[in-house]
Structures are given as structure tokens and as C-alpha cells.
Amino acid sequence: MKKYIAFIMIFGFLLNFQNLSAQEITQAETNILVNSDEFSFHAERANPTNYDVINIANSMPGAPAVRMFQLQGDGYGFSLKKSQLEVVLPYFGRTFNPTYGNPDGNSYRFTSKEFTVEKSQKRKGKWIYKIQPKDVTNVSDIFIEIFKNGKALVSIKSNDRQPISYDGYISKNEIETKKEKL
């Protein structure tokens, strides 16, 4: 029985490892995306800083004791283009000015057309972005750390809620079709 459980655990780890390695890109591809300043970030995990949220989530029956929340689906992340920043990210934490009756106001869902981007390269090929949206009232800074293999860590500093960070990866922006533009 112990061998069977060990086999299942190793098999599950290998499947998860294969899934993670499939999302990595080469250093050359990462440099191309970073130099173009146009890419998409796909969030896989959220890391809230509020321990009350973590304790409540971990106290639910059958919930695993984790600090990072695995995000289900492929719709969370943002798209950075030269003229537009489109963000769709969930929020877990304490809001100081909640919007009652408007569930979209409690997450990060916005499109910014006025923003500044500062980019610098650190040791070992890591890139750091600092994005400051000017036309969004509740987000002051978005920090992005991009590693050589395309993995990324995003931190959002807000004016009306506690900070939160997300783990994920970057990829090339998808080409919009004419139907999406209409």
C-alpha cells in the first residue's frame, strides 16, 4: 500500500512538473518580449498578505493549509501594450473602501490608457518593471519581476486595500481579430 501511495505521489509530481515546464520559455524569447514592452501575464497563484483571509480559507472543511491560492482557469492576468494596460486579477484581502453591491469593484478589473513604465535589468538576467497607472484611482503601482525562463511575480500596491502578489508566467500578446475590435 505504501508503494502504491508513493507511486501516485511521484506520478502526480511529475505531471505537475511537466505542466510547469511547458509554460517556460527560453531566455531569448523572454528578452524579445521584454524588449518589445508588449506581453501578457498569466496568473497561476495569488499570495494575499492578510493572514485573516488565509486563516479563514484554511478553516473551511476539506481545505488544504496553504498560504498561496491556486487560481482556476486561464482568464486571470493582464496584457501590456504600448498604448493600453488591461488588468483582470482577483483580490483576496482587506479593502478599506469596499464597493457594496458591485462585485467587479472588489477585484482588479480595469483598462488604463495613461500609464508610465520604468524598466531595469538586474543581476542574472532578471527584469523589473514598475507601472504606474494615471487614470485608475485605486492602484498606485504594479511591480513585475520577470525571470529568464518567462516566470513572473507581480505585486500590486493599492490606495484602498492591502498589497497582494501573483505568481505566473509571461507570453506573447494574442493577436486581436477584427470581430473583437468591433
pLDDT tens for 130-177 read 999 998 888 889 999 999 999 999 999 988 888 889 999 999 987 654
* Residue 124 identity (one-letter amino acid): K
Sequence length of the chain is 182
The rounded percent of the chain whose pLDDT value lies above 70 is 68
Q: What is the pLDDT of residues 10-47, one digit of tens each?
A: 544 444 444 444 467 888 888 888 889 899 999 998 88
Number of helices (H), then strands (E), belonging to the chain: the values are: 4, 10
pTM of the model: 0.74
Grid coordinates given for 39: 506581453
